[in-house]
């Protein structure tokens, strides 16, 4: 007779030998009783095994590998609230140092006096840049006695955060269609501008293909537009993905504060900045480019503290980790790290091209975009689609997103790999081997129906896109 599990407990150290092994996790009701911490940890730990392996997620732009020292600093900073600058003055000082360092990297006229802030990510930073642009535009219009009720923003169809900004803050969004090179052209950007345009947003690292928009050319077009119309429209650069690669691997590109028309820049510290998730930066060219009305001063945490964020209380560990990376790597180290990612991207592009199956739309050229590879099928009427291929690769643990370009591109279906710090050539070889196996299986093996481009939603965010599932 098998002994009852409730009486069988050979060791208090074995969580699977006692009652906990036969309990289910609460899913709909708040639990009534406390439970031992080790048992709760094991239960949650085991459920999380169903998540994918982060480093095999080639859709995400976000950091998936950090040094042990970063992990330790994150643990040590677990209780630091970065908004509480009176209680944690040294964390606040590290934030200020990071702002000045990043402003220096972006060629701000005077990095010591310009204004900037850490954020929870580049989307929040982008919205802060948009708010500053709206307030500057409104103040100028009010001073001239002009209408301020119809602000608009011009950008390419690349990041949902700009749609959010415009919807949340009552601004008309004017999304410019992609040109033939899959980026917004200066001509199309200018065509969308008028006296109510608060800012034109140019993107360094477009989410659909990874390409840079030509910020210098867009700036020159706005210069010419001002000469013709008298309208002085500023530029904001969304450098969420390119802000920490272009300065190191394409330093000759003029896209930052070297262009006087660029008034603000947002970047993601937790993407190519190499910090853990939850890190972003907003930087203004000069202090005067951030209206005073947007800065709040509070004293109820003990001390006088200026703040300009959509969030209030925020963790300080990501800023501490960013400062660690700035000191640990410096210009030399960041150049080495990011150059390695471009090397892997070029390798993947070359060998994916050699399969004969794909047209490479972007091969990871550091002068044209971020370390990424984007392609489409040569034969749109072949035996499989990129959605089939994505699903086949997922069976091996790789997340290689398939999605369609905006509707103006006739629903062209593409796939893309983001090459991040931690994707080595050895891992690239394993990935390529799985590509070859997947292609062979799709060409010759039994499988479900052929998924068409119309079966999957257009990709419009830098998070992991939804993948179409092959029917059984």
pLDDT digits (tens, 9 = 90+) for 332-377: 999 999 999 999 999 999 999 999 999 999 999 999 999 999 999 9
Query: For the domain bounded by 69-325, which CATH number is listed?
Result: 3.40.640.10
- Under a CB-based contact definition with an 8 Å cutoff, are residues 415 and 361 in contact? no
Cβ atoms within 10 A of the Cβ of 179, count? 15
Q: Which CATH architecture has domain 5-51?
A: Irregular (4.10)
φ/ψ region of 257 (left if φ > 0, alpha if ψ in -120 to 50, else beta) reads alpha
5-14, 166-175, 206-215, 361-370: lowest mean pLDDT where? 5-14
**What distance in Å separates the CA atoms of residue 140 and residue 126, rounded to the nearest whole number?**
21
Residue 296: what pLDDT? 82
Given a cut of 60, whether residue 472 has pLDDT beyond it is no
Q: What are the φ/ψ torsions at residue 178 (nearest 5 degrees)?
A: -65, 140
- Which 8-state DSSP code applies to residue 186? H
Q: Nearest Cα to 158, choosing from 208, 124, 108, 222?
A: 208
455 confidence band (pLDDT: 50, 70, 90): low
**What distance in Å separates the CA atoms of residue 112 and residue 42, rounded to the nearest whole number?**
49
More confident residue, 324 or 472: 324
Compute the mean pLDDT over every residue in the chain, rounded to the nearest whole number.
89
Q: Which residues pair with 359 in a beta bridge?
A: 376
Place of tokens 């450098």: 239
The tokens describing 312, both together, are 């209030």
Place of tokens 């002085």: 232
Q: What are the φ/ψ torsions at residue 461 (nearest 5 degrees)?
A: -150, 155
**What distance in Å separates the CA atoms of residue 135 and residue 384, rounded to the nearest whole number?**
50
CB under 8 Å to 225, separation ≥6 — which residues?
A: 190, 193, 231, 233
Mean pLDDT of 326-332: 98
All CATH 3.90.1150.160 domain ranges of the chain, comma separated, are: 340-455
**What distance in Å separates the CA atoms of residue 238 and residue 282, rounded to the nearest whole number?**
10
The tokens describing 188, both together, are 């199309």
- Under a CB-based contact definition with an 8 Å cutoff, are residues 255 and 237 in contact? yes
- Which 8-state DSSP code applies to residue 454? G
Residue 446: what pLDDT? 62
Helix intervals (H) in 264-316: none
All CATH 3.40.640.10 domain ranges of the chain, comma separated, are: 69-325
All CATH 4.10.280 domain ranges of the chain, comma separated, are: 5-51
Class at the top of the CATH hierarchy for domain 340-455: alpha beta
Pairing of strands 116-119, 280-284: antiparallel
CB under 8 Å to 56, separation ≥6 — which residues?
A: 397, 398, 399
409 confidence band (pLDDT: 50, 70, 90): low
- Residues present in the chain in total: 472
């Amino acid at each position: 007779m098998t002994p009852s599990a409730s009486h069988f407990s050979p060791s208090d150290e074995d969580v699977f030998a006692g009652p906990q092994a036969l309990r289910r996790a609460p899913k709909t009701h708040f639990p009534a009783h406390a439970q031992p911490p080790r048992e709760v940890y094991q239960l949650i730990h085991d459920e999380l095994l169903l998540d994918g392996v982060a480093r095999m997620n080639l859709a995400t732009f976000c950091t998936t590998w950090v040094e042990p020292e970063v992990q330790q600093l994150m643990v040590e900073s677990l209780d630091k609230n970065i908004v509480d600058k009176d209680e944690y003055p040294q964390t606040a000082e590290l934030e200020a140092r990071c702002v000045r360092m990043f402003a220096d990297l972006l060629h701000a006229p005077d990095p010591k006096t310009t204004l900037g802030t850490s954020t929870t990510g580049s989307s929040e930073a982008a919205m802060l840049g948009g708010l500053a642009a709206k307030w500057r535009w409104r103040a100028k219009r009010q001073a001239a006695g002009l209408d301020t009720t119809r602000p608009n923003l011009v950008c390419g169809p690349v990041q949902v955060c700009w749609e959010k900004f415009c919807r949340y803050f009552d601004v008309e969004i004017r999304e410019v269609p992609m040109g033939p090179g899959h980026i917004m052209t200066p001509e199309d950007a200018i065509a969308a501008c008028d006296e109510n345009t608060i800012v034109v947003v140019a993107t360094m690292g477009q989410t659909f293909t990874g390409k840079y928009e030509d910020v210098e050319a867009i700036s020159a077009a706005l210069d010419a537009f001002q000469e013709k119309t008298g309208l002085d429209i500023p530029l904001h650069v969304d450098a969420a993905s390119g802000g920490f690669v272009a300065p190191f691997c394409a330093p000759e590109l003029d896209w930052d504060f070297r262009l006087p028309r660029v008034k603000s820049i947002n970047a993601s510290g937790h993407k190519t900045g190499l910090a853990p998730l939850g890190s972003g930066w907003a930087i203004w060219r000069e202090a005067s480019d951030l209206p005073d009305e947007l800065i709040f001063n509070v004293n109820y945490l003990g001390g006088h503290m200026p703040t300009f964020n959509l969030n209030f209380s925020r963790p300080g560990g990501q800023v501490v980790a960013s400062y660690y990376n700035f000191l640990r790597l410096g210009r030399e180290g960041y150049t080495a790290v990011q150059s390695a990612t471009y090397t892997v991207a070029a390798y993947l592009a070359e060998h994916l091209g050699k399969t004969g199956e794909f047209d490479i739309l972007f091969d990871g050229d550091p002068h044209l975009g971020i370390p990424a590879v984007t392609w489409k099928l040569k034969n749109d009427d072949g035996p499989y689609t990129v959605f089939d291929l994505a699903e086949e690769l997922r069976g091996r643990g790789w997340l290689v997103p398939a999605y369609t370009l905006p509707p103006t591109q006739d629903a062209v279906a593409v796939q893309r790999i983001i090459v991040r710090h931690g994707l080595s050539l050895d891992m690239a070889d394993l990935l390529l081997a799985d590509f070859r196996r997947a292609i062979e299986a799709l060409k010759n093996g039994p499988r479900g129906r052929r998924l068409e481009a119309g079966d999957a939603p257009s990709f419009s965010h830098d998070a992991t896109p939804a993948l179409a599932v092959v029917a059984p």
